[in-house]
Amino acid sequence: MKEKNKERSRKLFYMVFSILVAIALWIYVVYVENRTFDSPVAKSGIPLEFRGEDLLRDSNLIVSNVNVNQITAYFNGRVQDTTTLSDMEVRAVVDLSDVLSSAVPTGTHALEYELIYDPGFSTIEEASRWPAMIEVTVERLVTERIQLQPIYSGSIAEGYMAGELSLNRDMVEVSGTEAAIARIARATVTLNRDNLSRSVTEDEPIVLWDEDGNVIDMDEAGLTFADGVETVKITQMIRMVKNVPVRIDIIESQTATDANIRVDYSVPSVTLSGDPEILGDINEINVGTVNLKSIVTSFEQDYLIRIPNNTINESGETSVTVTISVENVGTRRISASNISCRNAAETDNVSTITQSLDVTLRGDEDQLEQVTAENIRIVADLSQVAGTRGTFLVTARVYVDGFDNVEAVGEYTVTVMIN
């Protein structure tokens, strides 16, 4: 009997225990595992997206204003889905194609929007949203050509100067509302480099400015570049600046050398600018040649200053007066009659019509006093007229024999007849 009572008590215990476990499990499932939010949970900061903006542009329309930029949505779900809701990506998409179907597309439109999200296997579902509708203002799209202004902001290396500043295009087409376009006062492209010593070309952005000198935020203003190009190639040419001496070539003679002449220039040098690769090799500007045998003791003549190709004369001088003085010499004139000819053809019968010439001598004064007419030979050169017939004026060279520091200076001619 006692054994039966024990068995009955054991069964009763297990029955009560099972009921208690079931009640506890039910309480866990209902109040813990499947407990829902006490009230809808907000998901804020949902970005607003537009679909069909290209369709508006094709009809020369543009959204100029939106009443909100972000959406707040409220969701129901289980407490355990809180983390899922926090991490879940939600998008709010407005279809602008509905604007085109309205009788008057311009103006303010209240549009519905779609919430797009993937709750996965959770029990999350939308309860409500704010705002319920999106208000967009649509205006006519205006496109205008704006002149581009190149700007260099920086410094130039010493010995160089800024040359031409240019862009690979002069205009840019900007699209937006009429009010937004009216804000544009100018469009610039700026190159910012320091210590430039060579020409550079860079892609730089186009910047729009209003009349108060403020940069226009294109996204905020609803402006776009019609061709989609936001950068322009800007080129800053750099020119070398160089002070180049003016020089005349000197052909020395027996009694006039670099040691006893003085050369003066009214313009000693000119300042040139040009491509560094060209100007770097230019060390002087030659204006002419003077044979010191052709002058007596002084010489003065004007010469054009011809600058090298692809350079600019920044100082502006176009001519120079060259003065040459032969120093520490004396001069003397002697009449000489010892005239002969050379370079005649074998068949030429040459007669010298000129019988004497006054010759100017230059040199050491002591030796000049010793020179006589017998020391002077005048030789006419017939190479240009050999083999012809007639009377000719030909050049002649004068020799002073027996004296190292005396020479004939100047130019001489002799008249001859060839039969």
107 bridge partner residues: 138
pLDDT digit string, tens, across residues 209-242 = 999 999 999 998 989 998 888 999 999 999 999 9
- Nearest Cα neighbor of 287 from 272, 309, 302, 266 is 302
CA distance 396 to 342: 10
What top-level class would CATH report for the domain 41-140?
A: mainly beta
pLDDT at 31: 44
pLDDT at 89: 87
Could you tell me how many residues make up the chain? Answer: 419
pLDDT at 8: 67
pLDDT at 27: 45
Place of tokens 């902001």: 153
Residue spans of the domains in the chain: they are 41-140, 142-238, 240-326, 330-418
- Cβ neighbors of 268 (< 8 A, separation 6 or more) are 245, 246
pLDDT at 95: 93
State whether CATH 3.40.50.1580 applies to domain 240-326: no
H or E segment at 6? helix 2-28
pLDDT at 126: 87
pLDDT at 6: 65
- Domain made up of 330-418: CATH architecture: Beta Complex (2.170)
Q: What is the DSSP string of 326-341?
A: E-S-EEEEEEE--EEE
**pLDDT tens digits in sequence order for the chain, 419 residues long:** 656 666 666 666 667 666 665 555 544 444 444 556 678 888 899 999 999 988 988 898 988 889 998 999 998 888 777 677 778 888 999 999 889 888 889 999 999 999 998 766 567 888 899 999 999 999 998 999 999 999 999 999 999 999 999 999 999 999 999 999 999 999 999 999 999 999 999 999 999 999 999 999 999 898 999 888 899 999 999 999 999 999 999 999 999 999 999 999 999 999 999 998 889 999 999 999 999 999 999 999 999 999 999 899 999 999 999 999 999 999 999 999 999 999 999 999 999 999 999 999 999 999 999 999 999 999 999 999 999 999 999 999 999 999 999 999 999 999 999 99
CA distance 8 to 138: 84
Domain 41-140 shares a fold with domain 142-238: yes
- Domain made up of 142-238: CATH architecture: Beta Complex (2.170)
pLDDT at 64: 87
CA distance 405 to 402: 9
H or E segment at 180? helix 178-183
CB crowding 18-33: b at 16 or more within 10 Å, else e: eeeeeeeeeeeeeeee
Sign of CA dihedral 320, 407, 361, 400: negative
Cβ–Cβ < 8 Å for 172, 145? yes
**CA within 13 Å, CB half, 1:** 0
